[in-house]
Amino acid sequence: QLQLQESGPGLVKPSETLSLTCSVSGASVSSQADFWGWIRQPPGKGLEWIASMSSGGAAFYNPSLSSRVTMSVDTSRNRFSLRLNSVTAADTALYYCARHVAVGRGGECFDVWGQGTVVTASS
């Protein structure tokens, strides 16, 4: 059974870099068919997609964040990571990792999610 688990510091100072890792069990991040993604949810608000990436290196970023975001996939450790630099209070959120898969009849969905990790940007 596929499981994802986020990890990383819960507190980041403004202007510094947020770094999160998602450890994957029950499947390989090397799967050619799958992308792996990050979604965040500010307190009391809705969901915002951040980025998705395949093990082959194809990456897609939300244009609203693309200048500050980098994703990477580590096939040797079966995990993937997110870096968001120059954080501000607006980046305070619950950050989820998820598998981003293609579905029949076109389109994609996030079919398995981690439990999420809270990141607070504050001095």
Partner 1 sequence: DIQMTQSPSSLPASVGDRVTITCRASEDISTRLNWYQQKLGKAPRLLIYAASNLQGGVPSTFSGGGSGTEFTLTISSLQPEDVATYYCQQSYSTPPTFGQGTKLEI
- In terms of Cβ atoms closer than 10 Å to its own Cβ (0-12, 13-18, 19+), residue 63 is exposed
Whole-angstrom Cα distance, residue 67 to residue 44? 26
- Compute the least distance from the CB of residue 84 to partner 1, in Å: 15
Per-residue binding string, partner 1, 6-35, x by CB under 8 A, is ------------------------------
> In this chain, which of 27, 48, 70, 120 binds partner 1, going by CB under 8 A?
48
Residue from the set 10, 76, 90, 105 that interacts with partner 1 by CB under 8 A: 105
116 binds partner 1 (CB under 8 A): yes
Choose the binding region for partner 1 from 13-21, 24-32, 76-84, 109-117 (rule: CB under 8 A): 109-117
Which uninterrupted H or E stretch holds 102? Answer: strand 93-102
| Residue 2 structure tokens | 């596929």
Provide φ and ψ at 38, rounded to 5°. Answer: -125, 135
- How far is C-alpha 113 from the chain's CA centre? 10
**Which is nearer to partner 1, 29 or 69 (by Cβ)?**
69
Question: 64 to 93, contacts with partner 1 by CB under 8 A?
Answer: 64
| Ramachandran class of 37: left when φ > 0, alpha when ψ lies in -120 to 50, beta otherwise | beta
Q: Which stretch binds partner 1 (CB under 8 A): 25-33, 60-68, 70-78, 83-91?
A: 60-68
Cα of first residue to Cα of last residue in the chain, in angstroms, is: 39
Residues that bind partner 1 (CB under 8 A): 46-49, 60, 62-64, 96, 103-116
